[in-house]
Amino acid sequence: MVEKFDLVVIGSGSGLDVANEAARNGLKVAIIESGPLGGTCLNRGCIPSKMLLHVADLVETMRSSRKFSVNADNISVDFPKIVKEVSAFVDDESDGIEKYLSTAKNPTLFRGIAEFRGHKELMVGNTLIRGGKILIAAGARPKIPDIPGLIEAGYLTSTEALRLSSLPDSLTIIGGGYIAVELAHFFGSIGSKVYLIQRSDRLLTREDEEISRNFTVEFAKKHTVLLSSEPEMITKKGGFYHVKVKSSVEDNNTTIVTKELLIAVGVTPNTDILMPERTGVKLGESGFIIVDEYLETNVKGIFSLGDVIGSYKLKHSANLEAQYSYYNIIDSDNKIPVNYNAIPHAVFTSPQIAGVGLSEQKAKAMKLDFVVGKYRYIDTGMGMALKDESGFVKILIEKTSHKILGCHIMGTDASTLLHEVVVAMNAGNGNLENITGTVHVHPALSEVVLRAGLSAREGLQH
């Protein structure tokens, strides 16, 4: 059986937006999905994790209430109920999408694993699907490292960790990126003893180095962090995981024993399942799909977006790419290059992290002439009220043009504070004056961004 479509969309995350818009525009559209509808963000990513992380933030606030002379003793957490409520919400949302697509005449939903068989041809079950144009939005999945004994012992990824039915009293996390530290914050805040094993000498290595190093110091005050270390062997005995860890800076081994083991070392694209090379699509060294500035692959009429291309691996960047890919698929003769200017990101851990633009290290590598403005939370009225002693804002400004090159924040509500800078970078001339020339509420926490900007302005005058 052969089915022909104007557009075939593989993946129901941000690709779903493109499928729906294309169908409304009159194209005959197919959408293929093997897992729950809604993609990674809804089912096992940003939505369930941030709902759970809000609980962690709440518990941590209550447990730190003594520094405000408030007693909040005897805190109890109904872990099964919390997870059940979050999972029910996610499942209801996903089921709603599936019900809609199952009854819609266009786009047509195909459930199953897609695999390319030839030029713009895919098999899904027993159905051969051909597309005039194809959008690959097939995402990525947790990467599993090659550690002796890991497969035999078993492990959790973020997918299973977000649906545990009971709180483990102890947890080993292998990895030091944003997924690792967010889940460490969640489980650690509500009662698990958490161990992090990180091969680098700091956590969150993709952040500005000053942010990363300061964060590592603060995080290590709450959890056991083994830096410059790698797991050598994993075994499971009597219901407990035994992780033998070797340090690259010290000549010794240690063994961590915990109830659960979580792997969070990054993601791998689903191209090994999809086999896009069979239709001529070129892949990078790590298996991510190579696209041009229009999100088109080397094969005319085949586009790709999201985690499977590996650009940012953020839901909001995938949503941005969905907008551009839609226009470029609909009007391929007048394609528009994606504008990735000032793509922000945040890590919802404790302390919270957010950033946009260049880090200080990248700006130096590019040999840019810039100044750095910094300001501590604790030196503002609201920062003092919050008693946030470790938080700070760091902003990078190009000397000649006064253009904002980047901003990095560690501390309370960092993800929210960052947006002032994101708007400033995208509005008008994108200069520092967009921040320093704006009246800020006193004593709102946003003053810390203003004062970091004023610090940079002072540096420009010398």
Q: pLDDT tens digits for 303-317?
A: 999 999 999 999 999
Return the closest-CA partner of residue 199 out of 241, 243, 248: 248
| Per-residue pLDDT at 462 | 79
Our separate counts of H helices and E strands in the chain read: 15, 21
Q: Decide if pLDDT at 16 tops 90.
A: yes
| Per-residue pLDDT at 108 | 97
Instruction: Mark whether 442 is an active-site residue.
Output: yes
- Residue 2 pLDDT class (50, 70, 90 cuts): confident
What is the C-alpha to C-alpha distance for residues 160 and 173, in angstroms, rounded to an integer?
A: 13
Q: What percent of the chain has pLDDT over 70?
A: 100
Q: Decide if pLDDT at 1 tops 80.
A: no
| Per-residue pLDDT at 427 | 84
Q: pLDDT tens digits for 331-359?
A: 999 999 999 999 999 999 999 999 999 99
What is the C-alpha to C-alpha distance for residues 418 and 387, in angstroms, rounded to an integer?
A: 20
Return the closest-CA partner of residue 392 out of 214, 216, 219: 214
Beta 404-410 vs 353-357: how paired, if at all? antiparallel
Q: Which fold has domain 351-460?
A: Enolase-like; domain 1 (3.30.390)
Beta 121-124 vs 127-136: how paired, if at all? antiparallel
| Per-residue pLDDT at 235 | 98
Q: In this structure, what are the phi and psi dihedrals at residue 78, rounded to the nearest 5 degrees?
A: -90, 80
Q: Which amino acid is at 146?
A: D
| Per-residue pLDDT at 285 | 86
Range 140-161 average pLDDT:
97
- Residue 38 pLDDT class (50, 70, 90 cuts): very high
What is the C-alpha to C-alpha distance for residues 46 and 52, in angstroms, rounded to an integer?
A: 10
| Per-residue pLDDT at 157 | 97
CATH of 2-142+268-334, one of 3.40.50.620, 3.50.50.60, 3.30.200.20, 3.40.190.10: 3.50.50.60
- Residue 17 pLDDT class (50, 70, 90 cuts): very high
Comma-separated ranges of CATH 3.50.50.60 domains in the chain:
2-142+268-334, 150-265
| Per-residue pLDDT at 72 | 86
Catalytic residue among 345, 402, 408, 442: 442
| Per-residue pLDDT at 252 | 81
Q: pLDDT tens digits for 72-99?
A: 888 899 999 999 999 999 999 999 999 9
How far is residue 407 from each of residues 218, 415, 419, measured CA to CA in Å? 20, 11, 10
Q: Decide if pLDDT at 165 tops 90.
A: yes
Q: Decide if pLDDT at 44 tops 90.
A: no
Angle at 382 between CA 73 and CA 410, to 5 degrees: 85
CB 104: neighbour CB atoms within 10 A? Answer: 14
Report the CATH number of the 150-265 domain. Answer: 3.50.50.60
- Two tokens at 50? 């941030």
Q: Decide if pLDDT at 129 tops 80.
A: yes
Mean pLDDT of the chain: 96
β-bridge mates for residue 190, sequence order: none
The DSSP-derived string for 264-331 is -S-EEETHHHH-GGGGT--B-TTSPBP--TTSB-SSTTEEE-GGGTTS---HHHHHHHHHHHHHHHHT
- Residue 428 pLDDT class (50, 70, 90 cuts): confident
CB 173, CB 195: distance < 8 Å? yes
What is the C-alpha to C-alpha distance for residues 197 and 147, in angstroms, rounded to an integer?
A: 13
- Residue 251 pLDDT class (50, 70, 90 cuts): confident
- Residue 45 pLDDT class (50, 70, 90 cuts): confident
Torsion of CA 75, 76, 81, 85, to 10 degrees: 10
What is the C-alpha to C-alpha distance for residues 224 and 127, in angstroms, rounded to an integer?
A: 51
Question: Higher-confidence residue: 122 or 40?
Answer: 122
Comma-separated ranges of CATH 3.30.390.30 domains in the chain:
351-460
What DSSP character marks residue 12?
S
| Per-residue pLDDT at 250 | 84
- Residue 111 pLDDT class (50, 70, 90 cuts): very high
Listed range (25-29, 42-46, 198-202, 329-333) with the worst mean pLDDT: 42-46
Range 196-219 average pLDDT:
98
| Per-residue pLDDT at 304 | 98
CB 57: neighbour CB atoms within 10 A? Answer: 18
Residue for token digits 């969905």? 322
Three-state SS at 74? coil
Q: Decide if pLDDT at 441 tops 90.
A: yes
Three-state SS at 257? strand
Range 26-41 average pLDDT:
94
Q: Decide if pLDDT at 231 tops 90.
A: yes
